[in-house]
């Protein structure tokens, strides 16, 4: 009997903000690669999640949500990052929300069509539909929007149909050798992931406009046997936000650091000691130099 042909390829996971792209990528690669919150535009960078199996290696590209109407440099950089992820991809997973098609979906779909790559329509958040019979009209409505290769409804949060989606993606990958070492899970290093986990906890604990003006910069990361020392700064755009993030007597930033430390110790299986402070960098999201400093390296 002939050996099974090895398959490999890149899969861009795209769509408007807050459709569950990061939750799906984490579920597919069985590890927390991308941070997840209920707030739109949590993901600001394209991040690779690598799934390695005996006969296949699939590289999922988690992307910022494609969105229109913002002139800020950071939003333009996020859109460019998402669009760039489609260049050279073998397949796209176009993610939508089962609770309704929006104008933002139309905008994201238009960008997908420009790329010309084949796409699956992935209708997420099935668990939010009140009745099973509500699914059929959603499938008919959404699938008529474009000529999708496959249409697969899922709940990324609950894992519903995720294995079916993976099996279909696997079959669609072209023959080829592994693209990354077998133990690779992502293209992002520890420093980046530490900063993202800290930002996740801030997004989860803060409300109103503050989270969208937040960035985290890891100034120093030192690895010792069984211990990682981290010195990080959270940047806010206004002085009034600094006190909100710090909290009375430093209570909120301490809680943020504790929650981040617990997550990081689970992800990396070692102890962490975090020092986190909050500084002001006015209007950093519209400052090309500040954006480059904070890791948004796309041309502004």
Whole-model pTM? Answer: 0.93
For residues 69 and 117, membership in a common domain is answered with yes
- pLDDT the model gives residue 1: 34
Mean pLDDT within 32-36: 94
Domain stops at, among 172, 201, 228:
172
Asked, for residue 46, whether it belongs to a domain, the answer is yes
For residues 89 and 60, membership in a common domain is answered with yes
For residue 283, give its domain range. Answer: 190-293
Q: Which two tokens stand for residue 107?
A: 């905008």
For residues 54 and 145, membership in a common domain is answered with yes
For residues 21 and 165, membership in a common domain is answered with yes
Kindly report, residue by residue over 90-141, the tens digit of the pLDDT. Answer: 999 999 999 999 999 999 999 999 999 999 999 999 999 988 889 999 999 9
Structural domain count, the chain: 2
- pLDDT the model gives residue 72: 83
Q: Are 196 and 216 in contact (CB under 8 A)?
A: yes
Domain stops at, among 144, 172, 200:
172
Mean pLDDT within 17-27: 95
Asked, for residue 267, whether it belongs to a domain, the answer is yes
Kindly report, residue by residue over 165-202, the tens digit of the pLDDT. Answer: 999 999 999 999 999 999 999 999 999 999 999 999 99
Asked, for residue 49, whether it belongs to a domain, the answer is yes
- pLDDT the model gives residue 104: 94
Asked, for residue 182, whether it belongs to a domain, the answer is no
For residues 15 and 150, membership in a common domain is answered with yes
Asked, for residue 288, whether it belongs to a domain, the answer is yes
Q: Are 185 and 20 in contact (CB under 8 A)?
A: no
Kindly report, residue by residue over 135-165, the tens digit of the pLDDT. Answer: 999 999 999 999 999 999 999 999 999 999 9
């Amino acid at each position: 009997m002939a050996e099974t042909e090895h398959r490999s390829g890149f899969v861009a996971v795209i769509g408007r903000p807050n459709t569950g792209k990061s939750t799906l990528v984490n579920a597919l690669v069985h590890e927390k690669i991308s941070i997840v919150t209920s707030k739109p535009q949590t993901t600001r960078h394209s991040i690779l999640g690598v799934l390695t199996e005996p006969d296949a290696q699939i590289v999922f590209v988690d992307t910022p949500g494609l969105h229109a109407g913002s002139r800020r440099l950071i939003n333009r950089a996020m859109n460019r990052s998402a669009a760039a992820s489609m260049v050279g991809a073998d397949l796209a997973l176009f993610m939508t929300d089962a609770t309704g098609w929006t104008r933002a979906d139309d905008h994201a779909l238009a960008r997908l069509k420009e790329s010309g790559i084949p796409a699956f329509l992935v209708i997420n958040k099935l668990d939010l539909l009140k009745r099973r019979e509500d699914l059929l009209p959603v499938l008919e409505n959404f699938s008529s929007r474009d000529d999708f290769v496959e249409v697969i409804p899922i709940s990324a949060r609950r894992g519903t149909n995720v294995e079916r989606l993976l099996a279909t993606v696997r079959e669609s990958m072209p023959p080829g050798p592994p693209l990354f070492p077998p133990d690779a899970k992502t293209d992002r290093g520890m420093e980046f992931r530490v900063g993202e986990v800290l930002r996740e906890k801030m997004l989860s604990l803060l409300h109103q406009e503050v989270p969208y003006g937040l960035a985290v910069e890891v100034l120093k990361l030192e690895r010792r046997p069984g211990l990682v020392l981290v010195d990080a700064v959270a940047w806010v755009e206004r002085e009034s936000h600094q006190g909100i993030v710090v909290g009375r007597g430093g209570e909120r930033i301490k809680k943020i650091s504790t929650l981040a430390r617990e997550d990081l110790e689970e992800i990396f299986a070692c102890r962490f000691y975090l020092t986190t402070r909050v500084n002001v960098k006015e209007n950093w999201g519209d400052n090309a130099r500040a954006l480059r400093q904070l890791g948004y390296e796309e041309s502004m």
